[in-house]
Amino acid sequence: MSIIERKLRQKESLRQQILDAAREILLANGYAHLSMRRIAEQIEYSPTTIYHYFINKEDILHHLCVEALERQFESISAAGSSEQSTFLRLRSSIRAYIDFGLSEPDRYKIIYMADISQYVSMASILEEGSAANKLCKLMRNMVKDVLFESASTLDPETVFQTIWAHIHGIVALLIGRPDFPWVEREKLIETGLDLSLAGLARKGTG
């Protein structure tokens, strides 16, 4: 059955070529210039061919999204692992989240800012074992550890989502409105984290 295997391998190869091309265009020319025809041009196939490997453009974006989430998960989990205290582990992970977004804006946009919600269900992105799932669990657990140590009664999930909202806000605004008169970037980020995490060090009420 090696012929079938080879065919599957070739099919998988072209599939990967399409994703590679899409990723390349995305990172080189930005989100706006990523088109099916351009991907086709790059892989030297007709645009229609792509539709035999992916349902539609959003399907491709979904895969790039999953891929980007894997990268994000790696950089965040790596950043946290070297720290000693639970608090610093959380803090440097959060910092890594922001740094990922600022250093890879197009990947970040694909994950969190693209209009894919109508096509790609959150459920499929968050499915068991996925990078997004692991990322959520990682963050939630770090929050839980910090809350436990400070004997807080706050709900870990709520705090996790709150922190997420905060850091997404920073990244999204800095990326999306780069010409706003922002204060010095480092100061904005660090002050933000200080304020955001200050409430975690003492007992909460809900």
Partner DNA sequence: AGTAGATATTAACAGTGTTAAATATATTAT
Partner DNA sequence: ATAATATATTTAACACTGTTAATATCTACT
State yes or no: residue 177 binds a second copy (CB under 8 A).
yes
State yes or no: residue 188 binds a second copy (CB under 8 A).
yes
Alpha helices in the chain (DSSP H): 2-29, 36-43, 47-50, 57-81, 86-103, 105-108, 122-125, 131-149, 156-176, 185-198
Cα separation, 55 vs 8, whole angstroms: 18
Nearest-approach distance from CB 39 to DNA, in angstroms = 8
Among 48, 123, 128, 153, contact with a second copy (rule: CB under 8 A): 123
State yes or no: residue 129 binds a second copy (CB under 8 A).
no
Token reading at 60: 């491709």
Site for a second copy in 137-176 (CB under 8 A): 154-155, 157-159, 161-162, 164-170, 172-173, 176
Cα separation, 155 vs 90, whole angstroms: 16
Judged by DSSP in three states, 85 sits in coil
Which stretch of DSSP H or E encloses residue 155? Answer: none
- What percent of the residues of the chain are helix, what percent strand, and what percent coil, each to the nearest 5? 75, 0, 25
Nearest-approach distance from CB 42 to DNA, in angstroms = 11
State yes or no: residue 183 binds a second copy (CB under 8 A).
yes
Return the number of the residue (37 or 203) whose C-beta is nearest DNA. Answer: 37
Among 82, 117, 128, 151, contact with a second copy (rule: CB under 8 A): 117
Site map (CB under 8 A) of a second copy, residues 75-114, x = contact = -------------------------------------xx-
Nearest-approach distance from CB 65 to DNA, in angstroms = 15
At position 38, the amino acid (one-letter code) is R
Which stretch of DSSP H or E encloses residue 130? Answer: none
Would you tell me which residues interact with DNA (CB under 7 A)? 3-4, 6-7, 11, 14, 34-38, 45-49, 51-52, 56-58
